[in-house]
Every structure is written in structure tokens, then in C-alpha cells.
Amino acid sequence: MWPTSTTMAQQNTSSNGEDQFLPCFLFQVDGKEYAVDIALARMMDLMKPEIQEYASSSEGSNPSSQSSQSIKTIHVPNLDGNQIRAVLDWCNGHRNKAPTRIQKPMRDSMYNLFSRFELDFIEKGRTLADVFGIIEAAQYLGIPPLVDLGMALLATRLKGKNAGCVLCAVL
């Protein structure tokens, strides 16, 4: 399920042994486009039908025609560019290593459960509003490990606070 490729366009071997490159997708947000390669798309539940559609449409065609296939644009409503960039950065950081899966409920501190990359990613200069935005984007795109990471940070930051402090923090 999680990719092992480090290239932007993941190479695939056809049934006749020839190498072929699978196309990228473009996320369109706020009038801008963000390139998403197959390796990143495979991390997102939202993209599974798109990947399957491509796989079924490319069966039996020759590799040279596949490299010239058009790039599919995916319109991503209700998210902004900062959210998409953050999610794509997280996905890029997990090209060679699967993200941490945590058991729920969390029985330990998030600092003992997540990798250094994940902790640096979610904490580095992020406000609670940023973390909520990342969770929203990860939820929409279908990336449960990133949702878990964001929720763990929220739980850690809000633990022990009274209701008034929590409301002020999230509003």
C-alpha cells in the first residue's frame, strides 16, 4: 500500500517486460495546480478510483503511447494551497518508509510513538489552525496516518486544559 519509489514518476513493468512510466495527477486548488505522482497518489484513498481507472484504460496499450497520455486534473474543493502543500510534503517524506500506525486509544506520549520526521513535520511552526487544516485535508484525501498524527498533536497540546482554554485555542 505504501510506496517504495523515490522517483517522481514511478516506473512500472508491463507484461511484456518493457518499462513504462505512469502519469501524474494535478490537484487544482485556488486556481493553482500541484503535481501528484503515482507514488503519492497511492497513499490517498481519494485517488484509488483514479489509479484503477488509469490502470484499466492502459491495459494492452504500448508504452510509448502511455508516456504521452494526458495528466488528469483533480479538483479539490474546500481546501487551500497551504493544506495541500503540507499534505504533499508529508507524503514525500514517506516515500521510502511507511508512516507510523498507532493503536487507539494512545497509551503513550506522541513523542514516543511517532518518528522524528513526523514530529518535526507536525510541530514545526504550526499553529492549531494549521494543524486543523492539515487534519481536514488528510481526512478529505483519505490519509488516516496523517489524521492520527494531527489528532495526537491536538490531544497533546490540549490535554489538561479547561474547557475555556480549549475553546479559545480552537476558535
Q: What does the pLDDT profile of the chain (171 residues) look like in tens digits?
A: 333 332 333 344 434 333 233 547 888 888 888 888 888 888 999 988 888 886 777 665 554 444 445 678 888 888 999 999 999 999 999 988 888 888 888 888 888 889 999 999 999 888 888 999 999 999 999 999 999 999 999 888 888 888 887 777 766
In this prediction the pTM is 0.76
Task: Give the span between the Cα atoms of 69 and 58, in whole angstroms.
Answer: 9
Say how far residue 68 (Cα) sits from the centre of its chain.
Answer: 26
Give me the half-sphere count of Cα atoms (radius 13 Å) on the Cβ side of residue 85.
6
Cα 18 from Cα 14, distance rounded (Å): 5
Q: 34 is written with which cell numbers? A: 500541484
Give the whole-angstrom CA distance, residue 70 versus residue 25.
9
109: part of which helix (H) or strand (E)?
Answer: none
- SS3 state at 93: helix
The Cβ-side half-sphere exposure at 105, using a 13 Å CA radius, reads 3
Give the pLDDT confidence score for residue 170 in this predicted structure: 66
Strands 72-75, 25-29: parallel, antiparallel or unpaired by DSSP? parallel
Please choose, from the candidates 132, 29, 45, the residue with its C-alpha nearest in 3D space to the C-alpha of residue 84: 29
C-alpha cell at 11: 516506473
Confidence at residue 144, expressed as pLDDT on a 0 to 100 scale: 94
Pairing of strands 19-21, 11-13: antiparallel
Domains and CATH numbers, the chain: 11-170 (3.30.710.10)
Give how far Cα 22 sits from Cα of 59, 63, 88, 122, 138, Å: 12, 10, 18, 30, 24
